[in-house]
Every structure is written in structure tokens, then in C-alpha cells.
A and B are shown apart, each in its own frame.
Chain A
Amino acid sequence: MKNKKLYFATFILDILLILLLTVSGWNVFASIFLVEILMWLVRLIWISPPLLLFILRRLGHMIPIILSVVAIGFFLIQLAPGDIFSMMAMNPDIKQETLERFRRAFGLDKPWYVQFFKYIWNALHGDFGYSELFKAPVFTLVSQRAMNTLLLAILSFILAWGFSIPAGIICATNQYKWKDQLLSFFAFAGMSLPNFFLAFLVIYFVSVTGNWLPIGGMYSINIDEMNAIGRFFDLVKHLIIPVSVLAVAVTAQLTRIMRANMLEILGQQYVTTARSKGLHERVVVYRHALRNAINPMITIFGFQLGSLLGGAALVETVLAWPGLGKLILAALLAQDLYLVVGSLIYGVAFLVIGNLVADILLAIVDPRVRLS
């Protein structure tokens, strides 16, 4: 490794940057998160230059997609009749001139392509517009909601992977026996159960058995009176239903995929070789088969992120979870232009970065994959 000293110097830079951001008023966790991502990207110069190149190329690929997302957002809102001030126009107390002034201040008096370039220009300066609906800057609003959705998504992914990999292994090692039949049946049922309907069923179950879990929302009403530990447990309680509802469909799908992968790998010749060497069955399954069976699962991770985000939008609306999906629905119904575009960008960025993460993970796990 060349320039080893410089490499270690980056760690000091880490701490300095985090301190700087925290002092300048950022959230501690957010600044750590941001700085670490940035610095590990920098450190890739030493660790694996091709990976860095790959990441940079993929991020560069994102730019035209984000631009077209913004353009599509503008175009679609333009197609819809009326705008965010249409409701106000029905109010007889508000004068026409006031309305015109509002529209001008919001930039709605110009054609959509002018608004589009102005938006891009402002966005490059870190200004993503102002939401009329929530009376807040779009960037802070969307970031906060996106974090809530991300929390849901990550937790349900962890839950789903934690369940489905063992379940898939059990299915594959007991093919066509009762364990396999039972788990496969549940997987089929879980795949077919719409998550919003599952949310309704869970709400019914919980409310009939005496409301032992909060059904909906993210915080209790008395959140301000709680200390840090109380708040944490409150959040955990509120997370249980949405996370498990979201995880069901993902678990079901992953179990079926894992089962199929395992079955295919267990039929390979090197597994037979391993068995004929006299290795213990456990070693064959977990050391030889499992590690190869997991690779396709990582590829699917990227795809599943998209469907999870979509599912989350419905579950958020049903369970009143303040996430990105609920936000975009409210924004669309109120025709809050900048909020719509802001949440669309976030959603698309999630998806693209999720795919990127899946590719990187695959490259790390499977040495046969070349980044190109």
C-alpha cells in the first residue's frame, strides 16, 4: 500500500470533520453517517480503486435519471388541473391580487420548463424549495420523513433476512417433507397477502385483544414527558406492527428464492464431492452450499428495495406512519409541486443507491464478480 501515512491521516480527518459538522449545528448521528460514507469512499483510493471507479460511474449514471425524474414530476403536476393555490382561490376572502402574488412568489406564473431550470439551479445551491402544505423547507421535511421510511425498510429487511435464510435452508434440506410443505405454504400465503390488508388484520387482532400495542403513528401523545430510554421503547413499540407487516411479504419471497437456490446448489457436483469426502452434513450445508446460495439473494436485494418502498407507502398510509410514501401522497393530493418533486427524487435515489449497495455487496461477497 502506497502512501500509508496519508491513509491513516484520513482517520484523523474523520474526527475533525465530524466535530466541525456537530459544532456547526448538525445532528451527531447524521454527521457521523455522512462523514463516514464520504471518508470510506476516499479511502477506497487505497483499498480498491476499481470499486471506487465503479461507484463513481454509477453515481454519475444517476444524474440523468434524477434530472428526468424532476422533469417528469414538473410535467405531471403541470398536467393536473389547478395548483396548490386552487383551494385558496375558492375562498372569497382572498383577493385575486393576493393569489397572483402568492403564485409569483412560488414561481408558478412561469411555464414549466422555466420552473424546471430554476428548480435545478436552486437545487444545485442546496435550495429544494418550500412546501406550502406543511409550511416548511422541502429538504428538511423530506429528509426527516425519508429517515422514518428508511428505518422501517432496514428493520424489515433485517427481520426478513433473519427469518428467510434459515427457513429456506430448512425447506431445501427437508424437501417435500412436512417442514418444507408447511413453510412453503406459508411462503405462498405470505406472498399473496397484500400488506395493507395484513395491516388491517393485525389492527383488528390487536384491538380485539385489548390494544396491547400502539396501532398507528410513530410516537405516543405523551412523548415529551418521557426520558431517552422511555422514548426509545416507545419508538420500538410503534415499530413492531409496521415492521412485521412489511417483513412478511419480503420474508415469503426470500424464503422461496432461498429454497430454490439451496436446492440447486445441493444438486451440484462439488456438494457431492464434499459429501463423498466424508464431511459432516452440517459442514456441507453451511460451509459449502450456503455461501454460494446467498449470492443470488444479494442481487435480489436491489429489486426488493423498490417493492419494499412501494409497500411501505401503503402501510405508512394505513398505519399513519410519518414516512415518505404518506408524504408524497399528501403532496400529490394538495399539488404541492416542490414537495412532490423532492420526495420523488428521494425515492428514486433510494432505489438507485440500493441497487448500487447490492452490487457492491455482491462484489465483496463473491470474488468471481468483476466490477465493470
Chain B
Amino acid sequence: MREKALKNPKGITEEKLELAEGISERGESLTRIFYRRFKKHTLGKIGAIVLFILYFIAIFADFLSPFSMTWTDKRKSFHPPTPIHFFYSKNGRKIFKPFVYEMKIKNIAFKKYAVVPEYTLRAISIEPLPEVNELRSVATDSSATARKRRIMRDVSRKYSLSPGSPVLKRLSETIDKLEASPEKDKTVVFRVGEKKIGNREHVPLELLLVKGNKNFLGFFFKGIPYKFWNLFQTRIHFFGSPTGGYFMSGTDQMGRDVLSRLFHGSRISLSIGLLGILISFTLGLLIGGIAGYFGGVVDVFLMRFSEIIMSFPAIYLLFALRASFPPNLNSIQVYLLIVVILSFVGWAGLARIIRGMVLSLKNEEFVLAAKAMGLSHLKIIVRHILANTVSYVIIQATISIPRYILGESALSLLGLGITDPQSSWGLMLSVARNTRIIKDFPWILIPGFFIFFAIMAWNFFGDGIRDAVDPHSRHQ
């Protein structure tokens, strides 16, 4: 009785006492320990945040990009990034209303753009179906009748309207009213008619008539249609202008929005690392495990094979492997092929190290115990031996992902990887192989910065993971 009172003077349970003294029996789980250690690593945390943002962009690329991946306007090739003006002066008062100026090509040879005049009239019709080119008619004529004639002509051509059609008559009236209105910048929605698309009976065909040279920006605007995750169709984009003309990072040689392609390209560029790691580490672990566990002829054969692969300069082997497949594959095949090639080049080094680890592990008593229990070889290798290399594998996986991102962009840059109309960061940079283009249109280098940030973030994150998982390792 006395002893118990001594041990537990104030009625505190034993468990609480132990916790207070820091000798809890229960212990932390491994992941909790890793997480606690990782939180102390500032750079690792920065890396994790940047990676979160990048992968978030990749996942919601459709919604976040102001246009779609394949949206093209041939008259807007190498359109410079449009600066945002935040304040709009209305009746002499400045109000907060962000907008960009609509620009038109002035010099076709040098791709010089200039802001269109204030009296410009535009007609923008957005098709209700994705991947269908819309009408963007810009009338910059100085006389109002010429402007009207141009718009009417373009609209009637687009919808194949006969000259006497009532729609054109309505359009003419609307344009007159718009031109006569005292406001400098005004947008009206003109309803052309209805269309039957699939099982939807009455899909309105709408036309935006825009007076003035400004495109007002907004969040959650209605832009060109797209299929979100290939599930449902919508026109809502995160940020941009419903009347177009807003290119935050310019356009490329074919007049495609760089930002949208950048966002869509991140899907390929960022996922290739994860998928590649998955395949090459499975290969490396299995081959290294088998070579180390069985030894003998199997070991010699597998290790010689990995030696041969390692004695190639990696890029040369990548080139040779890619060139040995037909060039005209479709986009999914190319994507998978690149993943497989990158993984095939990447497994050898890991397999050799894993083999070394397995050699030292396979004579341990727990392996003997597993053997005595009659487990199959594969089960022993995977569940008992390879399970002990987990911390090493986690570290290696995070620090090898940049290699895959780099490999993909290098292949795409040289025209051996992802091809148009798909998008990847390396492919977008391939335009820059022309020196004159870099000088005149430097914004096409933006994808390079994203490659840089992604690799840097993975490096930081990998550093943090290493400190968390293996705090005694040498920091190289």
C-alpha cells in the first residue's frame, strides 16, 4: 500500500507519469518521427510548399489556365505578355477595374504588336463545343460604317447567313445602338440563335460585341469551353478576360497562350518523374534483391547487364533507345515510351546498391527464420529483406526525381519526346533553339524557369526527407 502511494502520490495514472518523464511505452510511429524531423528543415518545407503548388496547378490545369492547351489564334503569333492596368478612368474618376489593352499585329515580319485604336469594334463568338475555333473579328477601320460592314461580313460568313436574314438585321441594329451609346467601353451580348448539340436541345449561340480597346479581367469568367478532367463540360476559367486578348506570358510561334500550355504541360513534365520512379525503383529493387539473394550465375549475369547499362553516358542511351522506336506514335504512346525509357536507364545504379545491402542482410537471423517458416523466395525478398532498405529507397526516390524531369525535357527539347499538339515544358523550350527567337521573344523561356523551380523544389524536399529519414547520413 505504501509503495503504491509513493509511486502515485497525487493520483496520477502511471501512463501520464511516464509521458511527463518522456519515457512513454507506446512510442511514436515512424511516420510521425519523420514528420517531426522534417518540420525542422526550413528548405525542405519551402520545397514541399512549392511542390504542392506545382502539382496543384498540374491537377487543375484546365480550370486555372485562361485558354486551353490547343487554343490557337494564328494572327497572334509571338504576342508579347500583356501588362495589366489596374485602374480604369470612368467619367474622369479612377476606379479599380483591372484591364488589358487589345493588341493587333503591326509588323508581320518582326511580329511587332500595337494597341488597337479606341474606336475599335470587335465581335467574339465562343462556340459551345470544345476544340472548335471561335470567331474573333476585329474592326479597326476609322469610319463607323466600314467597321460595321466588316463585323457583319465576318459574322455572316461564320454562321453562313444569307444577306437578307433577320439575324443580320438585328445585328445591324445592335451595332448601331452600341456605336451610338455614350460609353467608351461597352460589351453587349448578342444572341445569334440556338443549336442542338448531342442531347442538349437548345444551346444558345452567343456573340460578344465589344466596343473599345480594353479587355476587362475577372475571376471565374466565362471563356472558351473545355472538358474538366474529361468529365463535364464547362466554360468557367479561374482568371482572365471573357473577351480574350489577355496573355500573361505571351504566346508562342503558333499563337497559343504560353501560360495555358505551361499549366497543361506541367501534367506531363511533373508526372513523368513520379511514374518513372515507380517503374525504375520496382525494377531496381527486384533485380538487386534477386541478384543479391540468389547469388551465383544469376548475380553475375544481372550485375554484368547493369554494368553495361551504367557504362553508357545516360543521354546517349536515351537517344539510342528513343530512336529505335518509330517516330510517329500517338501522344499517349510517346508519353509511356518516355517513361519506360527513362526508367530503363535509371534502374541500374539502384540495383547495384540494393544488391550490396541484400548481401549483408541475407545472412541475418530473421531471414533464416523466414526460410524456416517455409516462405517463398519472392516473399522473403520483398517482405523481409527489401523492407529493410526502405529508408534508403525513400531518400533515393526523392532525390532522383529531378533526373526524370530533366530527362523528359531534354528529349522533348531535341524533338525526340512529347510532340505537338501535346505540351510539355521541354517541348515549349524547343522553340528557343533558334537564337533570334530568344532575343526577340524572351517570354518563351518561361517554361525553363518552371523546370528550374520544380527541380529545385524536389532537391530541397529531398534534402529535408533525407534529414528526416536518415539524420546521421553525410550531407552531400
Q: Measuring CB to CB, which residues of chain A are less than 8 angstroms from any residue of chain B?
A: 64-65, 68-69, 72-73, 76-77, 79-81, 188-189, 191-194, 196-197, 200-201, 203-204, 207-208, 215-216, 256-257, 260, 263-264, 306-307, 309-311, 313-314, 317-318, 325, 328-329, 332-333, 335, 340, 343-344, 347-348, 350-352
Contact = CB atoms under 8 A, between A and B. Distances in A.
A322 B244 CA distance: 45
A200 B316 contact: no
Contacts of A328: 316, 319-320
A197 B451 contact: yes
Contact of B438 (A200, A313, A352): A200
Interface in B300-336: 304, 307-308, 311-316, 319-321, 323-326
A166 B476 CA distance: 16
B409 interface: yes
Given A197-B452, A314-B414, A332-B323, 13 more contacts: A76-B321, A76-B324, A188-B460, A189-B456, A192-B459, A197-B451, A306-B314, A310-B313, A317-B433, A328-B316, A343-B316, A347-B316, A348-B313
A314 B459 contact: no
Contacts of A333: 323
Contacts of A76: 320-321, 323-324
Interface size on B, as a range, is 35 or more
Q: Which of A189, A216, A306 has the most chain B CB within a 10 Å cutoff?
A: A306
Contacts of A192: 402, 452, 455-456, 459
Nearest to B463: A188
Interface of B: 43, 304, 307-308, 311-316, 319-321, 323-326, 402, 406, 409-410, 413-414, 429, 432-433, 435, 438-439, 442, 445, 448, 451-452, 455-456, 459-460, 474-476
Contacts of A65: 307-308, 311
Nearest to A204: B438
Contacts of A204: 438-439, 442, 445
Contacts of B326: 80-81
B313 A313 contact: yes
13 contacts: A65-B311, A69-B311, A77-B324, A79-B324, A204-B442, A263-B475, A309-B313, A313-B315, A333-B323, A340-B320, A347-B316, A348-B311, A348-B312
A28 to B, nearest CB: 30
Nearest to A348: B311
Contacts of B459: 188, 191-192
A60 to B, nearest CB: 14
Nearest to B447: A197
A207 B439 CA distance: 6
Q: Which 4 A-B pairs have the closest CB atoms?
A: A310-B315, A192-B456, A197-B448, A332-B323
A332 B318 CA distance: 11
Contact of A194 (B307, B452, B474): B452
A55 B362 CA distance: 34
Contacts of B475: 260, 263
Q: Which of B315, B410, B451, B460 has the most chain A CB within a 10 Å cutoff?
A: B315
Contacts of A332: 319-320, 323
A80 B314 contact: no
A196 B410 contact: yes
B164 to A, nearest CB: 53
A188 B455 CA distance: 10
Contacts of B433: 317-318
A201 B448 contact: yes
Contact of A80 (B315, B323, B445): B323
A207 B442 CA distance: 11
Given A76-B323, A197-B452, A340-B320, A351 B311 contact: yes
A341 to B, nearest CB: 10
B308 A208 contact: no
B319 A329 contact: yes
Contacts of B406: 194
Nearest to B316: A347
A64 B300 CA distance: 14
A196 B452 CA distance: 11
Given A194-B409, A310-B316, A328-B319, A208 B455 contact: no
B288 to A, nearest CB: 19
Contacts of B321: 76
Q: Which of B316, B448, B452 has the most chain A CB within a 10 Å cutoff?
A: B316
A73 to B, nearest CB: 7
Contacts of A260: 474-476
B452 A264 contact: no
B162 to A, nearest CB: 47
A200 B448 contact: yes
A309 B438 CA distance: 25
Contacts of B409: 194, 196
A246 B406 CA distance: 15
A348 B413 CA distance: 24
Nearest to A307: B314
A318 B402 CA distance: 21
B308 A79 contact: no
Contact of A193 (B313, B324, B452): B452
A325 B315 CA distance: 9
A79 B34 CA distance: 47
A73 B316 CA distance: 11
Nearest to A334: B323
Contacts of A72: 308, 320
A266 to B, nearest CB: 13
B253 to A, nearest CB: 15
Contacts of A200: 429, 432, 438, 445, 448
A273 B261 CA distance: 61
A328 B448 CA distance: 25
Nearest to A79: B324
Nearest to B454: A192
Given A72-B308, A318-B433, A309 B315 contact: yes
Contacts of A80: 323-326
A264 B473 CA distance: 11
B307 to A, nearest CB: 7
Contacts of B413: 196, 314, 318
A317 B314 CA distance: 16
A70 B452 CA distance: 36
A257 B455 CA distance: 19
Nearest to A64: B304
